[in-house]
Amino acid sequence: MADSSFDPKKFIDREFEQELFEDLLRYETPARILAIRDVGGMGKSHLLEKFQYRCRTVKPRIPISLVALDQLPDYSPFSLVRMISEHLGAFGLKFENFARYENARLTGNFSVISSSIYLQASNFAGASEVTVAGTVIKDVGTVHFGGAGISLSPDQEKTAREVVVGSFFDDLLKTCSKKPVVIILDSYDKCDSGLQKWISNHLLEKYFFGAAVLCNLTLIIAGRDLPAFDARWPEEDCEKLVKSINELRRWERKHVEECLRVHGFNYEQKDLDAFHTLIERGMPPSEVIQLMQTFLDPKRVQR
């Protein structure tokens, strides 16, 4: 959910970027993806928090998940989907198939995962290799299917996670047929190359550029580097589906002055001139704000 440290009163500028986001939420065009690229410190993550705040406070609220890809417990699609489902579940969304298969995985009930055969109380002790519903299970002498204490083999766990991920998107497809949902992926450039490949090969390919399009799903993806949309998909499809921001709009003098004001700094004209000059020279706003906090009196101006 939203970062409790985000203060909407201290959010500066980004009118252009926010309008692009609002355009997506209207669902009046085929566009479903907003790709935001810029160097570090320019305010991408803060902008994404603003998007999240917008969705959480508008009426009716829009279910949203904001995930920093570099902060996942591991860089797997499974961990990403679990986090997204948790965020969206807080809005009251139900993912029944996902919950069923995830419960089966957690309890070691592989018979639910491989529903084509019944494995209750089966014991493959002594066998060197068994194929179950297309999954080759090796070292099966250590694997049992029965009562309490069941554990999945590595091959079974891999299969179970794939089933859980697929079931989540099956559920999400039903949800998005009735209401809008927003997923935001931050720090794309900082996540594992395997997860980056899954985002392109599975998430984008299947649910945005493929046959299983989720009609009311909006995806925001941000980072210093992004998927190579134009290199992978036809140009006309990218123009139709993707809105791109290759660089956030730079602050003007009025934005620097507003920043000084909302942070409550006592400042003189020379201070405003100096900080604006730093912005003009390309210093990231985050670093400029740090300098403000270092050199200016934080005491709030009397009003």
The residue among 199 and 300 whose pLDDT is bigger is 199
- The vertex-166 CA angle with 205 and 179, nearest 5°, equals 75
**Amino acid symbol at 204:** L
Specify whether the CB–CB gap between 1 and 90 falls below 8 A. yes
List 129's β-bridge partners, or say none: 138
Percent of the chain with pLDDT over 70: 85
Name which residue leads in pLDDT, 187 or 299.
187
152 burial (CB, 10 Å; 0-12 / 13-18 / 19+) is buried
pLDDT per residue as tens digits for the range 242-253: 999 999 989 999
**In the prediction, which pLDDT does 151 show?**
82
Q: Is the pLDDT of residue 121 over 60?
A: no
Can you give the residue ranges of every domain in the chain?
A: 28-96+161-245, 109-151, 253-295
Instruction: Report pLDDT for 6.
Output: 84
Q: What is the CATH T-level fold of the domain 28-96+161-245, as seen in this structure?
A: Rossmann fold (3.40.50)
First to last CA, the chain: 34
Question: Average pLDDT, whole number, for the chain?
Answer: 86
